[in-house]
Amino acid sequence: MKFDFHTHHYRCGHARGTIRDYIESAINQGFHMIGISDHSPYFASDEEHSHPHIAMSKKEFPLYISEVLQLKKEYKGKIDVLLGVESDFFPEHIELYCRQYEKYPFDYIIGSVHHVEGLNIFNKDRWEGLSAKQKQQTKETYYHLIESSARSGTFQILGHIDAMKGFYPDFSTIQTDALVQTLKVIAQYDLAIEINTSGKTKDCGGWYPADDILEMAIFYGVRVTFGSDAHDAERVGDDFELVRERLKQIGFKEWVYFKEQKMFTIDI
């Protein structure tokens, strides 16, 4: 079975194409399931559209849901279109976000940490002038947030769990035990992490997470799934078969998919 749970479209302001474009791309590649998971609005902001180049506006959110549900019906029998969302994780606002999500029939919700210590994780300048100790503390804060997202009970999938390396590849060399603790908690709460192939589009290259993290993940019993994090329809399913083969080499026997927020296991 071929699937991709992480795709975006024009509403978030930094992806291209319509939802239909992504569905058609998946069909053309013989995929069985395509998950639509654009960025959640900034629900806690007083502004209607506080970050127009990062996430959709609040008023667009129900329109997004309606469009995915309509396309789900339209493409029934051709491909399984799944309703998802990539949700920012702000621990101080998690109840507000949950109230929004409870209104809609999501198949799954991806929880992603995009902000640490008030700065976007992809901010290239955030590391300048930091001591080794400060860099370690930043990495620990990042993983403590991911751990908190796992404990929140809101998500089925945790997004790109080492994406902070995107524009700072040395992030991976910062030593801390926080990652191991986070993986243990993810396993405890029976969530999935995604193998996200968009890392190849950043300075770090490769995928999120790196092989060493996947080796730790299988050791601690963490489940895995797949998401391209496509921001262009041409990237739907990018490296799916390569990921499948690499997971087999690491030792994974199965991965998971989600429908109606229920987890299903299939052989890799």
Nearest to 229 by CA among 1, 4, 65: 4
φ, ψ for residue 234, nearest 5 deg = -65, -20
Q: How many CB atoms lie within 10 A of CB 2?
A: 16
What digits encode the pLDDT tens for the residues 45-78?
A: 999 999 999 999 999 999 999 999 999 999 999 9
Is residue 109 within 8 Å of 101, Cβ to Cβ?
Answer: yes
The helix, strand and coil proportions of the chain, stated in percent and rounded to the nearest 5, come to 40, 20, 40
Kindly indicate the confidence band of residue 133, based on its pLDDT and cuts at 50, 70 and 90: very high
What digits encode the pLDDT tens for the residues 156-180?
A: 999 999 999 999 999 999 999 999 9
- How many CA within 13 A on the CB side of residue 146? 30
pLDDT at residue 121, as a whole number: 98
Q: What is the mean pLDDT of residues 97-120?
A: 98
Give dist(CA 159, CA 194) in Å, integer: 6
Is residue 196 within 8 Å of 160, Cβ to Cβ?
Answer: yes
The amino acid occupying position 91 is P
Nearest to 10 by CA among 47, 57, 62, 50: 57
The CA angle 220-223-224, to the nearest 5 degrees, is 125
Torsion over CA: 20, 25, 28, 31 (sign): negative
Q: What is the mean pLDDT of residues 215-224?
A: 98
Q: What is the mean pLDDT of residues 3-30?
A: 98
The CA angle 12-222-158, to the nearest 5 degrees, is 15
Grouping H, G, I as helix, E, B as strand and the rest as coil, residue 193 is strand
Give dist(CA 242, CA 154) in Å, integer: 30
CATH topology of domain 3-267: TIM Barrel (3.20.20)
Q: How many CB atoms lie within 10 A of CB 53?
A: 7
pLDDT at residue 20, as a whole number: 98
Is residue 52 within 8 Å of 76, Cβ to Cβ?
Answer: no
Q: Which two tokens stand for residue 180?
A: 């191991």
Torsion of CA 213, 129, 121, 141, to 10 degrees: 60
Straight-line distance from the first to the last Cα atom of the chain, in angstroms, rounded to the nearest whole number: 9
Q: What is the mean pLDDT of residues 139-151?
A: 98
**29: exposed, middle or buried (Cβ count in 10 Å: 0-12, 13-18, 19+):** middle
pLDDT at residue 135, as a whole number: 98
